[in-house]
Structure 1
């Protein structure tokens, strides 16, 4: 089975998810670096997630949600998914 990449995201689901993460981060007055630190994700990777350039893993979704004190489903709902 071929690896799925952000380039194959024709419906822009990754972009919508990244926008939801960014909006919630900004509403929480967190810098991208602080969120990345709390979520134990590299800051540059967090930037790529927010721009929809990475196919974010389930574990990273959970880490991001935990770092922002919300449920993973909240992020998905915010993204319209």
Structure 2
């Protein structure tokens, strides 16, 4: 299973760039970028913080996908 996310979509809804999102979450812009690219899995605390800022459920932003079923 691979952790995927819709963070970029939620940032767009908030009209928020990576720098601003990082500041709201207490992390760097680079951390937000890594999460969006799928190169970093956030802690439970960070995932919950992101969801709260986005006014969404964690599972609306982050989801598991079986390997080999990547969306294109």
Query: Does TM-score exceed 0.5, indicating one fold?
Result: yes
Q: TM-score interval w.r.t. the shorter chain? A: 0.7 to 0.9
Separation in structure 1 between the aligned mates of residue 60 and residue 41 of structure 2, nearest angstrom: 18
| CA-CA distance at 1:80 after TM superposition | 6.4
The count of corresponding residues between Structure 1 and Structure 2 is 65
TM-score (norm 2): 0.73
Partner of 2:9: 23
Cα RMSD (Å): 1.8
- Alignment partners' CA distance in 1, 2:39 and 2:64: 18
> Runs in 1 of length 4+ with deviation above 4 angstroms?
none
Which structure has more RCO (C-alpha within 8 Å, separation ≥ 6)? Answer: 2
Flag structure 2 segments of 5+ consecutive residues without an equivalent: 66-72
